[in-house]
Amino acid sequence: MSYSKACCTIPPVESNYSSVGTIEKVGELDCYVVGPADAKKAIVIIYDIFGLHNNTKQFADVLAKRCNYKVVMPDFFRGETCPVSALGNFDTLMAWINKHATFEIAEAGLKTVVDWLRSTGVVAGGVVGFCWGGKMAAKYSALDSPRFFEGIVMVHPSFVDVKDAEIATAPVLALPSKDEPDMTEYMEILAKKPFGNKCQHHRFDDMPHGFAGARGDYTNELNVKRTTEAIQLTVNFLNGVISENHPNL
């Protein structure tokens, strides 16, 4: 398993973005929700270690507008986001992860949200994970039964592990930055799956880790351009894999 040193050191940016979504209670989870209330398709976003940051809300807002799906971002950490003081200290960071950001926490939250989405009439969806969330999205694929997520998007993922590719049960769109390890082997494993020809890999070699999430600089023209590209790649990919299995949606 490989991880990006940048993931453990780059702090979140300050953002004064005014989000357009709302916070809704789903079970015990606060969720940021944006998009049509009566949507039949949804995207669940698994944020990075900085939680419901304005940048990730901005990504969610633009994504919802472009795809016209319901977009939901659960607060898995329940407000206990990673303290900036933990960055640069791997042991401290891992202690925080083991307390607030285990896969078991993410799994329980995702199941709760998927059940809620189905109860509101949503038929199918995709999952988008940033950094930590990319890892969680990939691992959850093996447990997603009956399948709800028709596609998995990993945006500058952390802790990339080929074992996650081996257990994947849905197509993957990988969007690593220059700071992530090479994902060629990961994608080669996916290519051997029945859905392998639907998987995609686009590397952003001129962007740092976190560029589309809480560490992205929206005052930087190139950063905005690349984030917009990442959003459009996500929309195109999820539209394709969802419509193939649900042509009447």
CATH code (residue 187): 3.40.50.1820
- Residue ranges of the alpha helices (H) in the chain? 54-67, 90-100, 103-119, 132-140, 162-167, 184-191, 221-245
Q: What's the rounded mean pLDDT across residues 214-241?
A: 96
**110 located within any domain:** yes
**Structural domain harbouring 144:** 5-244
Whether the per-residue pLDDT at 19 is higher than 90: the answer is: yes
Give the mean pLDDT of the chain: 93
- How many helices (H) and strands (E) would you count in the chain? 7, 8
Q: How far apart are CA 211 and CA 129, in angstroms?
A: 13
Contact 105, 46 (CB under 8 A): no
Q: Is residue 185 part of a domain?
A: yes
137 occurs within a structural domain: yes
Residue 249 in any domain: the answer is no
The structural domain count of the chain equals: 1
**118: in domain:** yes
Please tell me whether the peptide bond between 74 and the residue prior to it is cis, using omega within 30 degrees of 0: no
For residue 166, give the amino acid letter: E
* Averaged pLDDT, 203-211: 96
Query: Can you say whether the dihedral through the CA atoms of 139, 163, 209, 151 is positive or negative?
Result: negative
pLDDT value at residue 44: 98
The pLDDT assigned to 149 comes to: 98
249 has pLDDT over 80: yes
Give the C-alpha separation, 243 to 195, whole Å: 14
pLDDT tier at 2, thresholds 50, 70, 90: very low
pLDDT of 5 strictly over 60: no
Query: Which residue has 């994947």 as its token pair?
Result: 168
Predicted pLDDT at 38: 95
pTM of the model: 0.94
- Evaluate whether residue 74 is within a structural domain: yes
